[in-house]
A and B are shown apart, each in its own frame.
Chain A
Amino acid sequence: MKTPTRWIKRALLYGVVAVFCFFSASPFLWMIITMFKQDKDLYRSANNPFIFNLPPTLSHLNLLFNNTNFLVFMRNSVFIGVLVVIITLVISIPAAYSLARLVGRWGERAGIGIFLVYLVPPTLLFIPLSRVVVSLGLHNSLWSLILVYPTITIPFSTWLLMGFFKSIPKDLEEAARVDGYSRLTSFIKVIMPLSISGVVAVIAFTFTLTLHEFVYALAFVTSSAQRTISVGVPTELVRGDVFYWQSLMAAAAIVAIPVGLVYNIFLDRLVAGFTMGAVKG
């Protein structure tokens, strides 16, 4: 009796999944088809845009890698991302532990305060920060972004890790201290290994936030050699009114797909991080 309804339910489930997948992935599908197309094939509106009417070509990838600053943008973005992840971890891990365990009653309030800092978006601060960057002599340098990006990543990371540390039973630390560990060493040797998921979530999130950031990167950096992927591709691969669509699509797809894969691999940990950090924290 139950089998037909179950079958219908399954079909319904797959149908809804397909709709969501199509909505999310169609721009990427379009990117991948476009990037291998010849100009003569692409710029004929009568052609079926979803198939290769003329044989595919790699010439636009060649243009992207050899005649544009794409690789420079990539290198800059990775460099900034790695440094900002390190700065964020060094500053927010102790801060989160302090808020969760050490500073007691006003820790919670300070935690909310830090979360509120996260609500001040870059779109609000880019004008004064551009003056700060100029006065430090960092304008037009990617170091300005390394200096400023932790303002986005520290509040979030601290908040997430705080929830994580809170969810670890206090008994564990007390047991460690009975065994002769100090407060500090029990934190390093007992708490940190248990918080790996939280740290992974913070790394994944921090790196993507820096990779995605647009406002500061647009406002502070104008020289091509210092630009990030996020600003470099849409502003510099368009020459005047000419859009090199195939190369642009290739640039977007080449960044999107690996990051998406990495994200998917760490997604369970990210969900775990959110569960511990946000739900129970």
Chain B
Amino acid sequence: MDETVTVKKKWTDGFRFWSDREDLLGPLFLFPAVVYIIALVGIPFIIAMAYSVTDVTAGNTSLDFVGLQNFQAILKTDQFTQSLRNTIMFTVVSQIIIIVLANILALILSTDFRGKWFARFLIMLPWATPIALGTIGWLWLLDSKFSPIDWVLRYLHLLGESGALLGEQKNLYYLGRLELAKASIIVIYVWRMLPLSAVILMAGLTSIPQDLLDQADVDGAGFWRTFFQIKLPLILPIMSVALLFSLIFTVGDMAVVYVLTRGGPVYYTQILPTWAYLKGIESGALAEGSATALFLFPVLLAVAIMVLRFSRRTEVT
């Protein structure tokens, strides 16, 4: 009887002892996350870099060092340079549109109006939908023959008759024509990322102290003045977070292009991820695929560091 009590007491003492030791608890709590990330991000990342300087393929997995040959080889192909250009163009243009629209949307959604709940539901839908399924919806919306947009244009006599503004043909063939296909991809990126960016910006707006806004009101500052001189500077740090998120999601996405155009017409809407996928997974050229996939990492890292630094600097002031 006495023994069990002492054992129990010892055990609780021991528990009490280590559960109070910060120097043990800290690393212990962090350990699983660090191991996981090293094993499944760190090591694969090193493998990717190793692959990119060897001649490895899915059939022959021995690693023979070839230096920068893969990079030189891929840089020579038109498909690669086109993919690189597209990736940069799609990303930059869509991010600019997103950040402007997200600011407007966040301002609207932080005011009160009738039917706000429903409006918010509709606006959030694109973000809640898996992007591959959303893109399927767009694929049908932009169908070469049955697009309802074309039908509306024909109805308004803007398309499909002689002398019509948009041409005599019955359809616009959104995904078959280069400029329209590129524009469609950008529209889908904007459509998808706008809700998340707006939500993050709303979080920023709600964190602005109310007395500051009241003071501005008392001082007679109007809507624009309040926005540009109070709200905007205060939400700049979180705006950079929003930008970073939508940037990562846009650069890291291949579903839109894969489902919508498969890189076509020909390979003119190909982006780096889809190109790397075709090379690395579908044709088994692991080395060239890795080199293609890795190409954007330095750019992404530089942008991320810039954004993080910027968000901290603005936080101090």
Contacts and interface: CB of A to CB of B under 8 A. Distances in A.
Nearest to A177: B20
Interface of B: 15-16, 19-22, 25-30, 32-34, 36-37, 40-41, 43-45, 47-48, 51, 61, 101, 104-105, 108, 111, 113, 117, 119-138, 140-141, 145-146, 148, 150-151, 170, 191, 194-195, 199-200, 202-204, 206-207, 237-238, 241, 244, 248, 251-255, 258-259, 272-273, 276-277, 280-281, 286, 289-290, 293-294, 296-297, 300-301, 304, 308
B317 to A, nearest CB: 15
A264 B273 contact: no
A151 interface: yes
A98 B30 contact: yes
Contact of B134 (A91, A112, A158, A252): A252
Contacts, number: 298
Interface string A15-51: 0110011011111101100100000001101001110
Interface residues of A, number: 102
A66 B48 CA distance: 42
A45 B144 CA distance: 11
Most buried by A among B15, B124, B194, B272: B124
A212 B252 CA distance: 12
B97 to A, nearest CB: 11
Contact of B130 (A126, A148, A211): A211
Contacts of B254: 123, 214-215
Contact of A119 (B61, B286, B301): B301
A248 B294 contact: no
A119 B247 CA distance: 9
12 contacts: A20-B123, A95-B34, A98-B28, A120-B45, A123-B277, A124-B45, A125-B44, A132-B44, A182-B15, A214-B131, A252-B137, A279-B238
Contacts of B252: 121-124, 215
Nearest to B307: A119
B47 A131 contact: yes
B207 A275 contact: yes
Given A91-B36, A127-B289, A275 B203 contact: yes
Interface SS of chain A: helix, strand, loop or mixed?
Answer: helix
Interface string A88-99: 001110110111
B134 A127 contact: no
A167 B281 CA distance: 44
Contact of B290 (A49, A127, A211, A261): A127
Given A112-B308, A123-B251, A252-B133, A98 B25 contact: yes
Interface in A96-154: 97-99, 102-104, 107, 110, 112, 114-132, 147-148, 150-151, 154
Contacts of B281: 126-127, 130, 219
A211 B128 CA distance: 9
Contacts of B44: 125, 128-129, 132
Nearest 3 pairs between A and B by C-beta? A121-B252, A102-B26, A98-B29
B41 A151 contact: yes
A95 B293 CA distance: 30
Given A230-B132, A260-B125, A278-B238, A13 B293 contact: no
B32 A255 contact: no
A267 B131 contact: no
A215 B277 contact: yes
A149 B236 CA distance: 31
Most buried by A among B45, B119, B122, B254: B122
